[in-house]
Structure 1
Amino acid sequence: MNSSTPGASPVLTPGLTGHAEVRVTEALCAPAVGSGAIMVYATPSMVALMEAAAVACVEHRLAPGQASLGVQIEVSHTAGTPVGLAIYATATLVAVDGRKLTFEIEARDSKEKIGAARHTRVVVDAERFKARIASKSA
C-alpha cells in the first residue's frame, strides 16, 4: 500500500512472504471434511493452510485496528498427500492496489508440489467490520 492511501501501511510491498505448515491428520483428510472418500489431505484443508500463509505474510504489518479478509481464491490441488506427512505453504504478496492484496501461494509436501493458488485479501477496519457482522445477528 502506498502512503497516499488513507489508513494504508507503507510496509506492505510486493515480494513479502509468509509461511504456514501442518502435519496431515485424519481430521484434515477428505472424508472428515466432506470433500471425498479417499483418506488424503483435503482440498478445503489446503485452502485453509494457504490462507494462513497469506495472513502470516501481512497481518503483523497492518496498522493497529486493521485486519485482512480473504475474498477470493483460485486454487489447484494437483497431488495427494497421506496422513503423517507435513504440508508447507508459502504465500508471496505480488500486488497491492489500495486495500486489495494479491498473493501467489504454493503448497508442498516433503515429496512434491501439491497445489497452487492466486488469492485476494482486502484490508478492513476490524471494529467497523465486526459491528457490521454483529448487526446481522440483531
Structure 2
Amino acid sequence: MRHEVTEADTAVAVGSGDVPVLATPRLIAWMEAATLRAATPFVETGRTTVGTALRVEHVRATRVGECVDVFAEPPAAAGRRLTFRVRAVDGSGRLVAEGEIDRAVVDRERFLSNGR
C-alpha cells in the first residue's frame, strides 16, 4: 500500500510530536491497514480480525510530499492469532519502519455485542 505523506499525517497534526514529518501513530495505522488486508484469506464469512499487539521500530523520518510503501507479510500458519511481519520503505527504498503486528480472528457480531 502506497501513501503520500501530507500535512495531516505529521507528528504536529496528530499531536505526537512537534516536527512536521510522518507521525508514528499514522504510520502504525497504515501498517495495521496493511495487516487487515493481508488477513482476508484467513477470515471466514461473519468473522473479522482485530489488532491486539504491535512491536514496531520507526527508524527514519519522512517529510511531507514523500511516499511510503507499507507491506504486511502473511503469517506462516493460520489460527485464531495471526502475526504479521510489517515493513515500510520510502521512495528511495530506505527502511522507514519494521516490526510485527498481531491480530486476533473474532466473530464480528459477538465482538460487537461485548462492547455494548
Which of the five TM-score ranges fits, normalised by the shorter chain? over 0.9
Decide which structure has the larger Cα Rg and report it: 1
Q: Distance in 2 between matches of 1:95 and 1:127?
A: 27
Offset, 1:60: 5.3
Question: What is the match of residue 110 of structure 1?
Answer: 91
Offset, 1:117: 1.5
Contact (CA 8 Å) 1:21, 1:49: kept in 2 or not? Answer: no
> TM-score, structure 2 length as denominator?
0.93
Q: Distance in 1 between matches of 2:98 and 2:37?
A: 17
Secondary structure class of the residue paired with 1:94? coil
Please report the RMSD computed on the Cα atoms of aligned residues, expressed in angstroms. Answer: 1.3
Amino acid across the alignment from 1:104: R
Contact (CA 8 Å) 1:76, 1:115: kept in 2 or not? Answer: yes
Gaps of 5+ in 2: none
Gaps of 5+ in 1: 1-19
> TM-score, structure 1 length as denominator?
0.79
Number of equivalenced pairs: 115
Offset, 1:62: 1.5
**Runs of 4+ with >4 A deviation:** none
Q: Distance in 1 between matches of 2:44 and 2:74?
A: 17
Identity %: 37
Offset, 1:97: 5.6
